Structure formats: structure tokens, C-alpha cells
Structure 1
Amino acid sequence: MGNWLMETFGLTVPVVGAPMATVSGGKLTAAISSAGGLGMLGAGSAVTADWIRTEGAVAAASGKPYGVGLMAWAVADHLDHLDAVLELKPALVSLSFGDYTPYVSRLQQAGIVVATQVGTVADARGAISAGVDVVVVRGSEAGGHGRNQVGTLPLLQAVLELTSSTAGGPAVPVLAGGGISGPRGLAAVLAAGAAGGWIGTAFLTAAEALTPRPARARLQAAAETDTVYGTVFDAASRAGWPDEFGGRALRNDFFDRWEGREQELKTDDAGHAEYVAATKAVDPSATSLYAGQGVGVLAGEPTAAQVVEHFATYRTYLRAAL
């Protein structure tokens, strides 16, 4: 049972490991790819081009295709990140959250498949106009950064209608992300017409993830109702995230104290210092632990291969649905 995603990258399971900054290093990326999915390196704005090269080499050592995720707003100030990726020539590059259009053709000319994450139908139209190779529907249930306007299922249906060959334009493959916490969710989006799942939260506590020990414990204890969406943590970090892209993370005391006061927090040095200190100490009460609404299923520290193997049982549910 193959499809565009599996055939293009030689996968045995239609799963892409979402590129999560501070979580998806080379080891996790390689482990997902080795298990039959497509691992992706999460290159956040704070990393260096040398970090991308080093971790990319670790990912490539598996001998399997892998990808790299870049944030378009950060690339504008870190063109060396793009240069490093072009040197690595991964199979897939995700460019999202900002103006990615200047970089699409350059990556494609290097033989790299280009994806972008979309949170609305308007985003999807822009992606098609920009000529990306694959559209990633990111619903509001998803962890990490993106939009909060539309849930995964309604957005997926609308984007699939837009990208189908019957819409009058070229057919564009679509991946789905947000709330896909296991094989039942993967079967659901495949049955709808997606080519695969864009999976992040399920890998947060994988043995190969960069997730620190205190964060793992908090994530494993979280329920599906424990996440919150907003820009509090971005205001505190001063990393440069555009306000239009908030993030879904675990709710904590710091978020509750500053929610609704984000503009004030941007210039509050004490609040910034508290957040930085908590991040260094991995204090779950004040730092950001990005996770989606599927976080409630996390248990233990499985290997990435075990997570992929679990998703591989989607066929049972897909047959039942069809």
C-alpha cells in the first residue's frame, strides 16, 4: 500500500517526524528514517550553521533519506542556515512561518523536495502559488508554532479539495499534522486523502530525542487538556517569532501570570530573565514545553523505532474504515 510520500522517499510507513527545534537532533532524525519513516532535523533560530552540518551528518549516517525544517522568518537573518542545508542536500526541506518564497526555487534546483506548513486555506493557496512540492496541513491541535484558526480535520478537507487535480490546477501532495497521536489518527487522515502524517508530539519522549529529563517527566504526566496556545513564551524568549505564529505548549504558572500581557512582557527584563533561567534549568513551571493535544498518550521512553512501529499498525484501522 504505497502513496506519493512512501514512493518518493522509499518509506515503509507514511510518517514524517516533524522538525522540532531542541528535540529533533540528528540521532532522532536518523532513528525515524531507519525505522521506515522520514526523520527531520529541527533547525531552530538559535542554532548555528555548523550545528546543522554536524547534526545533518549524524542524520545522513543512517543511509536513509531525511529532511531538515527551517523557519522562514529566521532564514532571512541566517542565510548561512540555508547554505548549510544546501551543502547537506537532504531529501526534504520544510520552510514555514514567514516569507519562504525567495528560497523555494533555489532548494528545488538542488534536487530537494520543498514543503511548507499551512494553517489556513489562504496559506495553502499561497504555497501552491509559490510552487512548493508538498503542503503540510497543520491543524490547531498541533504542538509547537503555527496558527490556531482551524482544526486538523476541517483544514485537511478544505486543502485537499483545493489541491486535488479536479480543482483545475496541478495535484499537490498533502500531509496532515496536529492531534495525530497514534495509528487510528494516521488511518483517519490517510482515508481522507492525505499522503501521510506529520508527527511531532508522539516523538517528544522517544529515547533518541533531545528532550531533557525534567521535561520528559512533565510531558508524560500531562493530559490532553493541559496544553494552551499563545505568544507568552515567545514574548519572554525574545527569539524573534512573529506574533501571527503563536505556539501550543503545556500550560504552566508563568504562562498564566503573563497571558494577556504579552506586549508588556516583551520589554520586561525581569520576566525575560526568569524565563531564560527556567529554560536553562528545565523548570516546567516557567519554561516552554511545546506539545500538541495528543500529549496525553505519552508513556515511558520508547525508541523512535517503536513509535514508528506503532504507527505502522494504521493499516488495520484503514482497512476497517474502507
Structure 2
Amino acid sequence: MWLTEKFGLSVPVVGAPMANVSGGRLVAAISVAGGLGMLGAGSAVTADWIRTEGSIAAASGKPYGIGLMAWSVRERPEHLEAVLELKPALVSLSFGDYTPYVEPLQKAGIVVATQAGTVADAREAVDAGVDVIVARGAEAGGHGRNAVATLPLLQAILELTELPVLAGGGISGPRGVAAVLAAGAAGAWIGTAFLTCQEALTSEPVRRRVIAADETDTVYGTVFDAASRAGWPDEFGGRALRNAYFDTWQGREDELKTDDAGHTDYVEGTRAADPARASIYAGQGVGSLTGQPTAAEVLDGFATYRTYLQAALSDGAK
């Protein structure tokens, strides 16, 4: 399998890069446990933050990755410079025009991935010369498209290209990993399952809200981006837990972009980690989270995917 062979993994799982969740400690824990951890470098962090957290991730001696947003790198080129200094094994660049950054990263010996939410996205990725495509379905938490579910998207992209394809969105346990591997994916791209890990940056109030959520509690939209004014293109909304703030402003996103009181309320809610006002990005697999495991425990669970693959291959034969 491409993913495990390329990076020397024992479990074909990439810990998706999540801003404010996957810092160096979680990244290292995922990589040490046999997956590939990825640092979530949000637009608001400094280049020094990337260097510091990347060094923590690298200290494990295991391969790791870093996720960047193309629209943010355009405004903060120092983010890319910090990544090139660190030389992680994998860099994911998505959401915006990432084409200028593919060659410099590859020349540094870094594997380049991008997240695709449609077949058209995947065609652009092939043309841009990336090394691996992430088929990111609408079920996934965080930012991306809400256009196509994971399974139809994965199948279509696999038909399109010979490049390795990872599947992301709604993969909450070993059954999901087995399903996408059986379909032909090179591995699973998983974020939500790591949200409440002990090594994650997730605050305690957010952890409690995530654990209490079920699979119907997520919503998709641009409310939180309008509130944050971080610079996210409207083309890419985000899937997060529904809360009072979202319900108040849904359908009024353009108004919110210039409403200072609404912006302040969101910022204060984020600082206070108030689940009623802050954005808590999570995918539809959130209902499977019931506690605060270590990353190693999560990876151990995913590693049992072989049981389900073998059962499917046996076709019930004894």
C-alpha cells in the first residue's frame, strides 16, 4: 500500500491537519503510534509557531506532515518558508491556488498533497503535479466543499487518476478504514476521531461538547468565517457543530462580515471556549466520540480494520 510503504507506517491513517487541535504533541503521538500525524498551521499562527510545533513533531524521529491553506500562504509566505526549513515528509496545500508552491516543496524532497472536494478539483490537482490527492467528502469536519459525499467522490477520483488517493470524511473507526481501503484508497485521512485525544490542543469545554454530540449535530456553512474575518474564501465553507451563534447568523453572512458586535461576540466566545458562540469544527463521525483517549489508543482501534477486510473477503465462508 502506497501510504504505509512511503512513510513506513503500521496503520494506513493520516491525522488530518486541524488548526487549534493538532499541535506538535498530537502530531508526534499519532506518528509514534504508527500513523502519520499532521500539524494544523492555521492562518493566524506565526512562522515561529510552525517552527516550534514542527520541531516537537520532528523530535519523535518519525515522519510527520504539515497542512497549509493556499489562500493564507499567499498572504503569509513566511509560513511556507518555515515549512521548507522543517522539511516534513508530507505537506498538504489546499483551498486556493496552490500551484506555485508544488514545485518548491517537491524540490525540497517533500511529498505534496491537496484536498479535492469534486472531480474537477482532482483534475486540477493532477494538472498541478501533486503527489497524492485527498478525496475529501462533504461529511468531513473543518473546511472544504459540501458538494459530494466521500464514497462517490473517492470512486470517481480513483477512476480519474493513477495517483495515490486518500479518503477523508466520515471515517470514524476501523470499519470506515476497511471500507475505503476496499474501494481502492491508499489510506484514510482522519481528523474528527482525534479531536478529544489527550494530546490535542482542544480546550476542556470544547471536549465536553464534542463528546456530547451525535452524528446529526453538525452543520455546514460560512457563518463562522464571516464572524472570524480570517480571510477564508466563501467558496470553502466549514462543517462544525451547530450552536446558537450559527443559528442566529445563518442566512445573514454578508451582514455579519461588517457587523462589529457580531464579530466581537464570536471573538470573545472563542477566547472563552464557549460552545454556544465558538466554532467547533467536526465531521459527521463526531457521534462516535465517547471519551478522551490517547492518540495511540485511537490508532490501535483503527489498526483492527484488517478484521473487517478479511471478513468481507471471506464472503462468509468458514
TM-score bracket relative to the smaller structure: over 0.9
Give the counterpart letter for 2:215 in structure 1: E
Unaligned stretches of 5+ residues in structure 2: 314-318
Matched residue, 1:235 = 226
Q: Distance in 2 between matches of 1:237 and 1:4?
A: 38
2:281 maps to 1:290:
yes
Give the counterpart letter for 2:251 in structure 1: G
274, 292, 296: which one aligns with 1:301: 292
Q: Distance in 2 between matches of 1:221 and 1:297?
A: 10
Matched residue, 1:54 = 52
How do residues 214-233 of structure 1 correspond to structure 2 at under 5 angstroms?
214-233=205-224
Give the counterpart letter for 2:240 in structure 1: A
Q: CA deviation at 1:321?
A: 1.8
Contact residue 191 and residue 321 of structure 1 kept, 8 A: no
Give the counterpart letter for 2:116 in structure 1: V
Matched residue, 1:36 = 34
Matched residue, 2:133 = 135
**Matched residues, percent identical?**
79
1:290-317 residue CA offsets vs partner (Å, 9 max, x unmatched):
0000000101110000000100000000
Q: Distance in 1 between matches of 2:151 and 2:113?
A: 19
Give the counterpart letter for 1:117 in structure 2: Q
2:94 maps to 1:96:
yes
2:288 maps to 1:316:
no
Give me the CA root mean square deviation: 0.4
Q: Distance in 1 between matches of 2:306 and 2:70?
A: 35
Give the counterpart letter for 1:305 in structure 2: A
How do residues 192-271 of structure 1 correspond to structure 2 at under 5 angstroms?
192-271=183-262
After TM superposition, the runs of 4+ consecutive aligned structure 1 residues lying more than 4 A away are: none
Give the counterpart letter for 1:152 in structure 2: T
Q: Distance in 1 between matches of 2:280 and 2:250?
A: 16
Give the counterpart letter for 2:284 in structure 1: Q
SS at structure 2 position matched to 1:254: helix
Give the counterpart letter for 1:266 in structure 2: K
Q: Distance in 1 between matches of 2:38 and 2:173?
A: 19
SS at structure 1 position matched to 2:17: coil
SS at structure 2 position matched to 1:214: helix
Give the counterpart letter for 1:53 in structure 2: R
Q: Distance in 2 between matches of 1:248 and 1:4?
A: 29
Q: Distance in 1 between matches of 2:309 and 2:63?
A: 26
129, 154, 157: which one aligns with 2:155: 157
* Count of residue pairs brought into register by the alignment: 313
Q: CA deviation at 1:89?
A: 0.3
Q: Distance in 2 between matches of 1:84 and 1:236?
A: 28
Q: Distance in 1 between matches of 2:168 and 2:312?
A: 20
Q: CA deviation at 1:107?
A: 0.1
Matched residue, 2:84 = 86
Q: Distance in 2 between matches of 1:321 and 1:6?
A: 22
Give the counterpart letter for 1:24 in structure 2: S
1:36-71 residue CA offsets vs partner (Å, 9 max, x unmatched):
000000000000000000000000000000000000
1:103-126 residue CA offsets vs partner (Å, 9 max, x unmatched):
000000000000000000000000
2:283 maps to 1:275:
no
Q: CA deviation at 1:319?
A: 1.0
Q: Distance in 1 between matches of 2:251 and 2:199?
A: 36
Q: Distance in 1 between matches of 2:277 and 2:13?
A: 32
SS at structure 2 position matched to 1:240: coil
Give the counterpart letter for 1:49 in structure 2: A
Contact residue 104 and residue 130 of structure 1 kept, 8 A: yes
99, 114, 129: which one aligns with 2:112: 114
Q: TM-score, normalised by structure 2?
A: 0.98
Q: CA deviation at 1:320?
A: 1.4
